[in-house]
């Protein structure tokens, strides 16, 4: 369990440093489309992944019956 915590911490640290130092190098214009993508894309991606995992777990549990 401690290994998982260190992995999550490491990925979080790399992502944070990437945003801090690499973010200013990207030239993203502040348009409405970019703002909406930045707000909705993480939520929609997570919903798709969780829905896929839920359907997969249901299919596996139905096979064992």
How far apart are alpha carbons 24 and 53 in whole angstroms? 35
> Is the full-model pTM beyond 0.75?
no
52 DSSP 8-state letter: H
CB 55 within 8 A of CB 49: no
Say what the pLDDT of residue 64 is: 65
Q: What is the pLDDT along the chain (65 residues), one digit of tens a residue?
A: 888 899 999 999 999 999 899 988 988 899 999 999 999 999 999 999 999 999 988 877 777 66
């Amino acid at each position: 369990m401690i290994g998982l915590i260190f992995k999550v911490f490491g990925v979080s640290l790399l992502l944070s440093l990437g945003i801090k130092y690499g973010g200013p190098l990207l030239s993203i214009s502040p348009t409405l489309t970019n703002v909406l993508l930045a707000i909705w894309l993480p939520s929609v991606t997570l919903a798709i992944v969780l829905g896929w995992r839920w359907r997969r777990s249901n299919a596996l549990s139905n096979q064992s019956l």
